């Protein structure tokens, strides 16, 4: 879709920009997001509590666990 625009005595067509209204979020999706963040935080803290042997069994080093646990809960 294009829009007719006047400029310097002539008319030209330019691409139209569509601005959509902000997306509404339901209360359910907000609660789901909060639960996801809480799960991430809990799981990352649990990594720190794991022994080196257990981390090795799942293919992680202590440095990997510390790096993952250091991420903010909102980051995947």
Q: Which residue matches tokens 């809480």?
A: 38
Summarised one tens digit per residue, pLDDT across range 56-70 is 999 999 999 999 999
Q: Which residues pair with 5 in a beta bridge?
A: 12
- Output the pTM of the full model: 0.60
pLDDT band at 41 (very low <50, low <70, confident <90, very high): very high
Could you count the other beta carbons within 10 Å of the beta carbon of residue 12?
11
Could you give the C-alpha distances from 64 to 13, 28, 39, 42, 60, in angstroms and in order? Answer: 54, 33, 19, 16, 6
**What pLDDT was estimated at residue 3?**
63
């Amino acid at each position: 879709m294009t829009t007719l625009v006047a400029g310097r005595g002539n008319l030209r067509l330019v691409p139209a920009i569509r601005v959509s209204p902000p997306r509404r979020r339901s209360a359910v999706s907000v609660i789901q997001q909060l639960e996801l963040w809480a799960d991430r935080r809990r799981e990352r803290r649990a990594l720190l509590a794991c022994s080196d042997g257990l981390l090795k069994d799942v293919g992680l080093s202590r440095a990997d666990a510390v790096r993952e646990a250091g991420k903010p809960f909102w980051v995947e």
